[in-house]
Structure 1
Amino acid sequence: MRSGRSRRWLHSLAAALLLWGVGTAAAIVDELDNRSAVYPGDLLLGGMFPLRGRGEFGNCSEFNVHGLFALEALHFSLDKVNAKLKSQCGFSLGSVSLDTCASPTVGLYQALQFVMPSLIGRSPSNQAGSMSGHDVIGVVGPMHSDTTEQVANMLGMFKIPQISFMATSPTLSNPTRYPYFLRTTPSDDNQGDSLVQILLHMKWSYVIAAYEDTVYGLRGLQAFEKSLQQVNKGAEICIGHRWKIDMDSPEAVDLEYYRKQLRQLSEEKSRARVMLLFMSDSIAHHIFAAVREERLEKHYVWVGTDGWGSRYVEPEIREAVDGAVVSVPIVRKLNGFDDYLLTRTVENNERNPWFALVTNRSLACAETPDGRSHNRRGERTCEHMDNETMQEHVRHCEFTGFMHFVYEAVQAYATALEEMHRKLCDKRMGVCPALYNELQKPGRRMLYEHLREIHFQDAENKSVHFHNGRDGLPKYSVLTYKQNAQGDYVWQPIATLYFNESSPDLLEEADLTSVEWLKNYPISECGSKCPGWSIRRYQKDKCCWDCENCTFPSVKLNETHCGVCLMDMDRQIFTKPNQWRNACETFDATIVGFTNPIVATVVTAAGAGIIATIITLVLFITYSSTPIIKASGRELSLVLLVGIALCYSTVFMVAVKPTKYTCVLVRFLYSLSYTVCYAAIFVKTNRIVRIFHMTDKGPKQRKTRYISPVSQLLVTALIIGFQIMLCVVWQVLKPAAADFDAVFDDENESVTVYRFCEALEDSDWLIALSLPSLLLMLSGLYAFKARKCPGKFNETKYIIISTYTACIVFVAFIPLFFTVAKMPFRIVVLCVALCINATVTLLCMFAPKLYVVLIRPHKNTRDNVMGRKHTASSNVHLTDNNCIQPSTTDSYSKDVGAPAGGRSSTFSAGSLKASDSSGRSSREYGRTSVDGLGRTSTDLRAMNNRRRWTDAGGRTDLVEQLVVQEIATQTSGDYDQPADSDDEDSY
């Protein structure tokens, strides 16, 4: 009991507040018409329609034919559904319809008529024009979004279900703010998507957006911009200018204002040929009239929505609207409605009091002084609707195509009531007490829940239900305003857009390609199409652009972005631009090997070098016992030949396909080939210098040590072993592997990926050349010191040529290697350096000896190797370089008598030139004699000179050895047999 009194107290308080608010609103309503259109029935629905337009100050003004059509659609729908309700449930639906004047203020005032019974108690009266309120179970309407929002606030407060048939504002989808609101039309969120699809299909990227500052205009533009971000990502379509029309400003009805704006836009934004209109038909009428005055009919294409699209167009502006494209909630004729509308007369339509007023021309028509029927805002103030005018509106206006939404709203109530009757009335006909009590409860929650869940077939057997339990299905018709075959301007359907119900951003179906006349529309973009692989570079307003080529090796990803093709060295995926530069294509890495002409030439030369090395080796083995081969040091010569062969072989390894194992071989062979060569040359020159080296002063030296072949090979092996150890450490710290290098040729616009060993990419390989470089410098130094040693021992000039050439190659090779960026040239430089070093060493160290062996065999004797001749004497000088230097300044020949042993021989010797400790110069001896021991005068002179050399230099071992050897050899008369001395054999 107390609970009921509290509820009534709260309702009374709410009523008082509402009456105060609505009373304040009603104060500005000018002569509000209290008429209502009543359709009798057992249960009543409230109807709210804009039967008149909105006046200057929110009051009612001229007659609105679209509101009249909607009211007649309500009555037509009730006729349809009642036939089934009466037969199956035993009751009928009726309606009480009020005029909203397309005004939120008037709409709020009229909604009070439907909530009054909830505040002051139920009234049994349902008489037309009753101001005590109308007891309704639900409401159909209003038509405009701004009016609907105000009405939905009030009806939601009193829990009265409401279904709008034309309000499309996205705000109305909020269940928290409008808990009892439903609609049979889709939200403008989906309409924004449909507009974007139209612009994308027509390739219109530069547009102007004009909108009125009402809920409909603002929300429509916002929905469109949101769709640009979601569907188009804001990249293809750009709004070059936003034109806001202030509805409360006098300019809103000033034709000159619209002419000025259009003239300015056509000049400043001349490339924008498409204008979006988010506004009502009255404002759109002003724009089209200004277009006609400015002769801009062919300049703009109009794109819009149901606010003005599909509406009746006045004859004087039809050419300006020609070609307009609009997206509206799906247009579908309500079967029989057009014929029903054309048969309405005053006599058979008493239930619609406004119909009689229109046809009897009873509305005031205030003509302006210039003869136009417009008020100060430019809106029409009178409308005469006779039967002929009605037919013209039906024929030229597609608005009747929206009347199926009214039918669906009525059918939703009828289906929900039928289901409630089945559950509550237990097959009893009529409005049973249970059903009546449920409908009289504050809130009518059961009716609202049934409305949300209904599924039914409309008059054309189309499935109908509420999307997301609140909105109409996201289906749209695309209309264009063109002349038909009879020459009449009509709204023609050209496409239908269906959006996915679960994901409204997804367009399920669109047929925009079958319309031939679409090809004649102008281009609306701020920039020409970028050809080839050029992209757009946008200017400040982000709508206009210049074309800029994608630089190689980029490809054109889309109209605004370039991209670089994938180069994944780890996964060995290589791509490059195709010939059109719009996509990437895969390709394989290139191996700088035998197919490269320069490398192939160097490899051929290396092959010839290996053959020459093998031939040299065979000849050395064949003639190994000859004096000149023995004097060259056979063992070290063989080691040198192995090093030369390694140099040539490394060229082949560099040219084969790089792998992990071949790169290891290249690293070791490259360093070892140089090390083996220069280690052999270093040991050879070191040995010669140590054998023949003498100083002018100092103590007497012992016999030279470590000059045997075994000693020399051991020293060479130690040097090579040290290099191998360096390579092993290098391999452990940084394992050798194959790598890839991409080379871009911007001039020829080509890209090549080379496969190579990574050691060839950086400076690490200098580690491998550190020891060979040191050996090379030491070899050159020793060769210079030994440049005047005797006879065929003197290889220094060839060694100097070889080492100096190698130094030049190294000096040129290192900077050239680092300055060459392209890997093929690096590999070529490496191969050429190897071949040059190997070839120079082979020619300098072996060619002179092979020449003597093969071409001048008579010079391949011990005497020639030792620097002696039997026909001429040679003077032996001890020079400043402390080496024995032969000369041919004097000669003589004398028979020498046999000593006690009875032997005799011919002895030829040069006069020995020396100086003793007192500085006496040598003398020339022109004759011989024999002493008591059988020694000739020549022997005595040689021994005497030996003593003088000893006094002068303090060393006798080497000279004594040489002199004794020479005397023994000459007295024996054997010139061709090699000496038994280990030292001599190794010379």
Structure 2
Amino acid sequence: MCCFLWFLTPWSSSSFPLLLLPVLCRQIGLEGVQASVCSRWDAQSNKGLSLDGDVIIGGLFNVYHLPSFTEQDFTKKPYYEPCTGLFSIALFLSCFSLNSVTLKLMYAMAFAVEEINRNNSLLQGVKLGYRMLDSCGRYPWALQSALSLIGGDAHSCNSTSAPLIIGPGFSSAGVILSRILGPLSVPLISYSATCPCLSDRHKFPNFFRTIPSDIYQARAIARLVFHFKWTWIGAVIANDDYGHSALQVFQEEIQGKRICLEFIETVRWETIMDDVKKTAITIQASTARVILIFCWYIGVIPLFLELTEKNVTDRQFLASEAWSTRDALLQNLAISKVASGVVGVAIRSSPIPGFEHYLRSLNPYNHPNDVFVRELWEKEFGCRSLQKSSFPPCSGTESLKEVQSVFTDVSQLRWTYNVYLAVYAAAHALHSLLSCPNRDSPTNNSSTCSSAKHIKPRELLQQLNKLNISTPHGEMFYFQGADIPAKFDIVNWQKTPEGSLKLVLVGYVDEFNVHLNESVIQWNTGSSEVPVSVCSKSCPPGTRMANRKGEPVCCFDCIPCGEGEISNITGSLHCKSCPSEFWSNTERTVCIRRQMDFLSFNETLGITLTTVAVSGVIVTTAVFVVFLYYRQTPMVRANNSELSFLLLLSLKLCFLCSLVFIGRPSVWSCRFQQAAFGISFVLCVSCLLVKTMVVLAAFRSARPGAAALMKWFGPGLQRGSVCLFTSVQIIICIIWLSLSPPVPQPDLDVPGLKVSLKCAMASVVGFSLVLGYIGLLACTCLLLAFLARKLPDNFNEAKLITFSMLIFCAVWVAFVPAYVSSPGKYVVAVEIFAILASSYGLLFCIFAPKCFIILLRPEKNTKKHLMGR
């Protein structure tokens, strides 16, 4: 059936069906068909390295020259140029014929296999072999070589096929090989294919790699940006899947982190010179000081040359893995001024003990069948060893032991170490598959144990999926689907005395964590100070960021925090409100406990009010003394001396109660001050009210038939009336202060660092009743006094009471709005002022005229004068 398929294929002239037939035939058991096509394989045999063994693992490396690839339009038979001449990406620039880097990868695989064969604990009793072929970096030849490896040697149909392949090196070849070999379950372990697409286990279930996906390097670079607080950067990407996918992941990582891309420039291979000129102009005009480049290194060189021409040397470049470690860039003196200070992520480097000795011990005389060593000899020493060529013959004393070249340099083993890891992964999977418990037991069922001669790729694939081992370096190694845990080196390009650049390891990224030795980083400025790349400088503590309309979030203004708000970090998005007991300091950076503010005896206002109150007490006392001394005179006797003395006493209490309002409020002071105020003023107004009633009663009793009125309104009833009016206020105060008394409480609703500590009215109703009752008595007194103002008398006291009550009522009517609107401690000052003003008004309006007559007009202080009308 396999042969029948071959005859039907339209590519009968091509080698691909010839290569595929033995593979399919081996898979389904038609071994006889395989022999009929063996003779057709010889034309496709490639140079390679091989080692016989019980189990053969395959290797695909890009060794030979990469011919120009022609797209097939299928209008004629497909044709591919033969893969000849040694391949090197550096060939485009350096014209070297031998790719020393790729050659080192092949010998790393050979070294690892030989090291495993010497290991007594790994694959004991089973010799591991290898067969490495060229893939030329293009999928047609990669497919040809892969099918050759899994189908058996091209020259021997009975040779052992490889159940596993180390490679390929490129993602495009990995996609095709995985899809074709997937149904056969042949595992592929790539050492340098980084396309994120290959992580899809549904599409590529047989693909593994020892290099992190491009997704992880984009995330690693994003973490570097976070670490150095760069928020305004430019991006240059290759116009292919590599550039666009890496940029997409990077943008996803920085989303919501207030990091912005000022520009994104793309570079196409087809129009590279035009693109780099445009990109260089954009970089030169940009305000971003950090430029991220996701591009192949063959596009970075012309860009750096263009920037050098424009003398753009003040930019810090972030390098992706594709160019961060390229010698072609590091050794290019023309771009060293621009490229100095580059920081980038690189495939992790790890030493391989004994590998350098292995490389330096290679020579064509000990390996006569190794064509690569012979060609290496021609390159390094310019002589031929065994084969015929145009070079002069070698002397036989040539050796790599003292040669310093890319091939012998093991200081930075990156892809090389990935190959080394891939071989060990394959060896451990084989070890798990071939390790059969109780193999020598008579009861052992051999059908459950795999044989080295009959390794099934599917079983090997299963072992790789559950691989969890310790590498020779002691680190844990396992596959997460197709990938391994992401680890990158962070490298820095630093100038050497010769003017070239050297690669310095400055840290590493372990999955999500960045570890840096910042002290050894040399930036583009030549100093160790981290460059700043922001659209707007970070807002200092005490301010917040406010976005500018129509601009990216990285461009903003700094707005000072409002009163009572703080921001204590740099670059704060919002200001935080302080707790009610705290307030912001002047700088708006910290909340400090608010200071309790109250009217004290030590401040100017307190001293002034105290002085006025004490003066009122002194004046009242002086008046009391005058009245007491002249108590037998007609002026004192005619104005109800008993009520006058009681009124003076109540006025003295009014002056004194104002002092209770000054000082730090306490529980008892808050209760006492309101009670003292309410009772003192009621006593005062009650005396005036009774005085007014006495005047009215006295004049009414002079009328016919009203003589008994004065008899009923005698001294006893006057004293009783005053006590009755005052008792009502006492009862109101007792009920109010018992149920809901005022309490000392800071006025936290008022903004400011200083908080007024005042007696808060827990019950406005109680306070209103106290004031209302005083107002009721005062209005009644005013009304009665007004009615008695024109009564015939040389000295009509009703007029004085009328004026005093007008002043009293005016003061307390004005008090209400002033009390409500006054801030902080000035509320207390307003109340004290009202108390003092009304007290002085009563004192002067009622007693000043009397004292004037008593002291200065004694001739008018006679009964005759008082009874003159």
TM-score with structure 2 length normalisation? 0.76
> Hey, what does 1:707 align to over in structure 2?
713
Deviation of 1:598 (Å): 0.5
> Hey, what does 1:73 align to over in structure 2?
108
Distance of 2:599 and 2:480 partners within structure 1? 66
Aligned residue pairs total 786
> Hey, what does 1:561 align to over in structure 2?
572
Deviations 1:7-46 (A, max 9, x none): x99xx9xx99999xx979x99xxx9985554343221223
| 8 A contact 2:545–2:573 mirrored in 1 | no
Q: Assess, with a 3 A threshold, how the Cα gap between structure 1 residues 280 and 49 changes in structure 2: closer, same or farther.
A: farther
Q: Assess, with a 3 A threshold, how the Cα gap between structure 1 residues 614 and 397 changes in structure 2: closer, same or farther.
A: farther
Deviation of 1:259 (Å): 0.9
Q: What is the SS of the residue equivalent to 1:207?
A: strand
> Hey, what does 1:276 align to over in structure 2?
292
Q: Assess, with a 3 A threshold, how the Cα gap between structure 1 residues 457 and 809 changes in structure 2: closer, same or farther.
A: same
Distance of 1:176 and 1:243 partners within structure 2? 34
Alignment of 1:242 onto 2:264: yes
Deviations 1:728-770 (A, max 9, x none): 787799764444335989xxxx732222233499999666533
> Hey, what does 1:544 align to over in structure 2?
555
Unaligned runs of 5+ in 1: 1-7, 118-122, 362-385, 869-873, 875-885, 887-987
Alignment of 1:753 onto 2:755: yes
Q: Assess, with a 3 A threshold, how the Cα gap between structure 1 residues 588 and 840 changes in structure 2: closer, same or farther.
A: same
Residue pairs, 1:360-379, within 5 angstroms: none
Q: What is the SS of the residue equivalent to 1:90?
A: coil
> Hey, what does 1:964 align to over in structure 2?
none
Distance of 1:102 and 1:769 partners within structure 2? 101
Residue pairs, 1:342-353, within 5 angstroms: 344=362
Deviation of 1:326 (Å): 1.0
Question: Which range moves more in the overlay, 82-91 or 529-538?
Answer: 529-538
Alignment of 1:436 onto 2:415: no
Distance of 1:54 and 1:664 partners within structure 2? 103
| 8 A contact 1:642–1:676 mirrored in 2 | no
Distance of 2:252 and 2:866 partners within structure 1? 104
Deviations 1:568-611 (A, max 9, x none): 33xxx31322x554333334332333343212321343345456
Alignment of 1:207 onto 2:233: yes
Distance of 2:313 and 2:401 partners within structure 1? 31
Question: Which range moves more in the overlay, 127-136 or 254-263?
Answer: 127-136
Q: What is the SS of the residue equivalent to 2:351?
A: coil
> Hey, what does 2:353 align to over in structure 1?
335
Residue pairs, 1:896-915, within 5 angstroms: none
Q: Assess, with a 3 A threshold, how the Cα gap between structure 1 residues 87 and 445 changes in structure 2: closer, same or farther.
A: closer
> Hey, what does 2:210 align to over in structure 1?
184
Deviation of 1:234 (Å): 1.4
> Hey, what does 2:339 align to over in structure 1?
321
Question: Which range moves more in the overlay, 103-112 or 683-692?
Answer: 103-112
Deviation of 1:306 (Å): 1.4
Deviations 1:893-914 (A, max 9, x none): xxxxxxxxxxxxxxxxxxxxxx
> Hey, what does 1:484 align to over in structure 2?
496
Q: Assess, with a 3 A threshold, how the Cα gap between structure 1 residues 299 and 485 changes in structure 2: closer, same or farther.
A: closer
Distance of 2:652 and 2:158 partners within structure 1? 120
| 8 A contact 1:304–1:327 mirrored in 2 | yes
- Which of 41, 53, 57 aligns to 1:45? It is 57
Q: Assess, with a 3 A threshold, how the Cα gap between structure 1 residues 671 and 444 changes in structure 2: closer, same or farther.
A: farther
Deviation of 1:255 (Å): 1.0
> Hey, what does 2:326 align to over in structure 1?
311
Q: Assess, with a 3 A threshold, how the Cα gap between structure 1 residues 152 and 656 changes in structure 2: closer, same or farther.
A: farther
Q: What is the SS of the residue equivalent to 1:685?
A: helix
TM-score with structure 1 length normalisation? 0.67
> Hey, what does 1:891 align to over in structure 2?
none
| 8 A contact 2:566–2:577 mirrored in 1 | no
Distance of 2:160 and 2:766 partners within structure 1? 98
Distance of 1:762 and 1:198 partners within structure 2? 63
Alignment of 1:400 onto 2:416: no
> Hey, what does 2:582 align to over in structure 1?
574
> Hey, what does 2:246 align to over in structure 1?
220
Residue 560 of structure 1 aligns to which amino acid in structure 2? G
Deviation of 1:194 (Å): 3.6
Residue pairs, 1:720-735, within 5 angstroms: 720=726
Distance of 1:534 and 1:798 partners within structure 2? 63
> Hey, what does 1:842 align to over in structure 2?
843
Residue pairs, 1:890-901, within 5 angstroms: none
Deviations 1:270-307 (A, max 9, x none): x2222111233333334334434x43451433211211
Alignment of 1:97 onto 2:132: yes
| 8 A contact 1:190–1:505 mirrored in 2 | no
Alignment of 1:657 onto 2:664: yes
Q: Assess, with a 3 A threshold, how the Cα gap between structure 1 residues 333 and 667 changes in structure 2: closer, same or farther.
A: same
| 8 A contact 1:145–1:215 mirrored in 2 | no
> Hey, what does 1:164 align to over in structure 2?
190
| 8 A contact 1:211–1:217 mirrored in 2 | yes
Q: Assess, with a 3 A threshold, how the Cα gap between structure 1 residues 226 and 257 changes in structure 2: closer, same or farther.
A: closer
Q: Assess, with a 3 A threshold, how the Cα gap between structure 1 residues 826 and 482 changes in structure 2: closer, same or farther.
A: same
Deviations 1:583-642 (A, max 9, x none): 333343323333432123213433454565567678878887876555444564465456
Alignment of 1:519 onto 2:521: no
> Hey, what does 1:597 align to over in structure 2?
604
| 8 A contact 2:316–2:342 mirrored in 1 | yes
| 8 A contact 1:212–1:244 mirrored in 2 | yes
- Which of 674, 694, 716 aligns to 1:687? It is 694
Q: RMSD of the alignment, in Å?
A: 4.9
Q: Assess, with a 3 A threshold, how the Cα gap between structure 1 residues 291 and 640 changes in structure 2: closer, same or farther.
A: same
Q: Assess, with a 3 A threshold, how the Cα gap between structure 1 residues 781 and 600 changes in structure 2: closer, same or farther.
A: same
Distance of 2:222 and 2:140 partners within structure 1? 34
> Hey, what does 1:867 align to over in structure 2?
866
Q: What is the SS of the residue equivalent to 2:709?
A: coil
Distance of 1:619 and 1:149 partners within structure 2? 119
Question: Which range moves more in the overlay, 583-592 or 764-773?
Answer: 764-773
Question: Which range moves more in the overlay, 209-218 or 708-717?
Answer: 708-717
- Which of 284, 298, 303 aligns to 1:287? It is 303
Deviation of 1:652 (Å): 3.4
Distance of 1:96 and 1:353 partners within structure 2? 14
| 8 A contact 2:597–2:825 mirrored in 1 | no
> Hey, what does 2:590 align to over in structure 1?
583
| 8 A contact 1:68–1:355 mirrored in 2 | no
Distance of 2:263 and 2:44 partners within structure 1? 40
Residue 651 of structure 2 aligns to which amino acid in structure 1? I
Unaligned runs of 5+ in 2: 21-42, 72-79, 90-98, 380-398
Residue 425 of structure 2 aligns to which amino acid in structure 1? A
Residue pairs, 1:450-465, within 5 angstroms: 452-458=466-472, 461-465=473-477
| 8 A contact 1:555–1:562 mirrored in 2 | no
